[in-house]
């Protein structure tokens, strides 16, 4: 260690007080000479980390020159404990090694400088002065590696921050969709309930023939059944946040078992996605049910599960009469049906497609009309896998 001496860089009201900690008595003596020549006040010396901790509370140094490798309690542990009890005291690590794990350990423990023992004397003095000012100095031999590690750590933290931001945005979006779903439930339940109440009041107040009474009761039962199914469907959609690993193609094949006209084809390989299985099945059941209702009796319904750009795509194609382009969005409205009441041949509550879209959006996807013409329509359900 060279004995070069720097003038004191700051006009302190009193000399900088330094405690020297090293288990090598000969090196401690060299440090004492260097610090004294640099107009720094050595208030004490210690040969171990435990001894240093005992002295700091009594001597109140401004800076501790801390050896890294010491028996019983090494410099990392001593620094950690010292900074917990005396956070205002600056610690400069002294080491014979450039080991990056040791460098990182000392910096994490709270050291504000790291200087190699074979550094020039002026480098050690500079580190002590900077530590007293609240600054930091790293030996040139370790600085590039530390900066590289810090840069990598910063980039990892940035990536983590972006992931957390994305997760937060997804959470807010899903929460908004769930609120939308509950609001829609409240609004849309009023219509079938109003019909049921109207029929019941008619039966209670109006004289009817047995035939009229039987027809009204039949309508009452039918609307009550529709209402019960509607509540079941919404319950599934509300539980959309409960996820598990799902093979979408397998779910499609399960839904297809309900009718021999439904044909399923899946491209491979398809990723396993995290979804609410019940909600995913409900989306497909609604789309398949809609396709079966509007297809001729002998016409098949095709379900194709494939991989798109960063997503899974499920297409359900029917052989129906097609949908006017102006109605591609309207059919997803609650209680919407394209047929007039007096000519309706496809029965239902008019909620199937609305629920399919609402449920799909609740689990991070969407349902749209991809294509429609006189030979049939294709509905597209998109699923974006969570990363």
Nearest to 290 by CA among 308, 317, 256: 317
Is residue 175 one of the residues assigned to a domain? no
CA distance 116 to 364: 55
Are residues 259 and 200 part of one domain? no
134 domain-assigned: yes
Predicted pLDDT of residue 145? 60
| Cβ atoms of 331 and 369 closer than 8 Å | yes
Same domain, 263 and 218: no
* Confidence at residue 78, expressed as pLDDT on a 0 to 100 scale: 93
Q: How many structural domains comprise the chain?
A: 3
> What per-residue confidence (pLDDT) applies to 191?
67
Domain co-membership, 110 together with 198: no
Residues ≥6 apart with Cβ < 8 Å to 248: 270, 273, 275, 280, 305, 312, 314, 383
Same domain, 374 and 257: yes
Tell me, yes or no, whether 386 and 257 share the same domain.
yes
Instruction: Name, of 10-19, 266-275, 333-342, the range with top average pLDDT.
Output: 266-275
The reply to whether 250 and 384 lie within a common domain is yes
- Are residues 346 and 224 located together in one domain of the fold? no
Tell me what the mean pLDDT of segment 123-137 comes to: 84
pLDDT tens-digit map of 188-219: 677 677 778 887 887 777 777 888 888 888 88
Residues 216 and 260 both lie in one domain: no
Between the alpha carbon of residue 349 and those of residues 19, 25, 228, the distances in Å are 84, 91, 11
Residue 300 reports pLDDT greater than 50: yes
Tens of pLDDT, residues 131-160: 888 876 666 555 556 556 655 666 677 777
Instruction: State how far the Cα of 82 lies from the Cα of 55, in Å rounded to an integer.
Output: 11
Same-domain pairing of 222 and 355: no
DSSP 15: P
Better-predicted residue by pLDDT, 333 or 67:
67
Cα separation, 270 vs 317, in Å, equals 20
pLDDT at position 183 over 60: yes
Structural domain span for residue 212: 189-239
Answer yes or no: are the C-beta atoms of 262 and 256 closer than 8 Å: yes
Look at the alpha carbons of 144, 147, 151, 153 in this order and tell me if their dihedral is positive or negative.
positive
In whole angstroms, give the CA distance from residue 188 to residue 354: 11
89 φ/ψ angles, rounded to the nearest 5 degrees: -80, 130
pLDDT at 382: 94
Let me know if residue 177 belongs to a domain: no
The three state secondary structure string of 348-368 is CCCCHHHHHHHHHHHCCEEEE
Give domain status of residue 200, yes or no. Answer: yes
Task: Specify the higher pLDDT residue, 62 or 185.
Answer: 62
Say if residue 29's pLDDT is above 70: yes
Q: State the Cα–Cα distance between residues 374 and 35, nearest whole angstrom.
A: 94
Greatest mean pLDDT range, 3-17, 106-120, 304-318: 304-318
Q: Supply the CATH number for residue 318's domain.
A: 3.30.565.10
- Specify the higher pLDDT residue, 8 or 120: 120
319, containing H or E segment: none
Instruction: Check whether 229 has a pLDDT greater than 70.
Output: no
**Are both 252 and 234 inside the same structural domain?**
no
In percent, the amount of the chain with pLDDT more than 90 equals 29
Of residues 284 and 121, more confidently modeled: 284
Residue that terminates a domain, selected from 106, 141, 176: 141
Alpha-helix runs per DSSP H in the chain: 25-37, 49-59, 75-85, 100-109, 121-133, 143-188, 190-205, 210-238, 248-256, 277-294, 352-362
Looking at the predicted structure, is the pLDDT value of residue 350 above 70?
no
| 316 in any annotated domain | yes
- Considering the domain boundaries, does residue 357 fall inside one? yes
Domain check: are 318 and 221 in the same one? no
E strand or H helix at 318: none
């Amino acid at each position: 260690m060279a004995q070069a001496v720097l003038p004191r860089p700051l006009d302190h009201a009193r000399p900088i007080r330094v405690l020297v900690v090293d288990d090598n008595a000969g090196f401690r003596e060299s440090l004492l000479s260097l610090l004294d020549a640099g107009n720094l006040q050595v208030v004490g010396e210690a040969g171990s980390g435990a001894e240093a901790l005992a002295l700091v509370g009594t001597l109140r140094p401004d800076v501790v020159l801390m050896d890294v490798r010491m028996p019983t309690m090494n410099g990392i542990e001593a620094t950690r404990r010292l900074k917990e009890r005396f956070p205002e005291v600056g610690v400069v690590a002294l080491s014979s090694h450039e080991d990056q794990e040791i460098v990182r350990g000392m910096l994490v423990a709270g050291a504000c400088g790291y200087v190699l023992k074979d550094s020039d004397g002026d480098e050690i003095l500079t580190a002590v002065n900077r530590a007293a000012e609240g600054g930091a100095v790293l030996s040139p031999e370790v600085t590039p590696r530390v900066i590289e590690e810090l840069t990598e750590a910063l980039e990892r933290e940035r990536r983590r921050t972006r992931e957390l931001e994305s997760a937060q945005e997804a959470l807010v979006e899903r929460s908004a969709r769930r609120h939308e779903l509950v609001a829609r439930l409240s609004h849309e339940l009023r219509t079938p309930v109003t019909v049921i109440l109207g029929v019941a009041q008619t039966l209670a107040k109006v004289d009817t023939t047995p035939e009229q009474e039987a027809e009204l009761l039949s309508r009452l039962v039918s609307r009550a059944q529709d209402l019960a199914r509607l509540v079941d469907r919404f319950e599934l959609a509300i539980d959309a946040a409960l996820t598990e690993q799902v093979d979408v193609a397998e779910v499609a094949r399960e839904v297809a078992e309900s009718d021999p006209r439904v044909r399923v084809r899946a491209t491979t390989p398809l990723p396993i996605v995290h979804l609410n299985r019940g909600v995913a099945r409900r989306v497909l059941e609604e789309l398949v049910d809609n396709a079966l209702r509007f297809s001729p009796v002998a016409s098949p319904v095709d379900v194709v599960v494939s991989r798109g750009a960063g997503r899974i795509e499920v297409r359900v194609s029917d052989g129906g009469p097609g949908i006017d382009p102006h109605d591609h969005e309207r059919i997803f409205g609650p209680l919407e049906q394209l047929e007039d009441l007096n000519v309706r041949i496809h029965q239902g509550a008019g909620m199937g497609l609305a629920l399919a879209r609402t449920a799909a959006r609740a689990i991070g996807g969407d349902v749209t009309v991809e294509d429609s013409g006189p030979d049939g329509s294709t509905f597209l359900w998109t699923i974006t896998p969570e990363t």
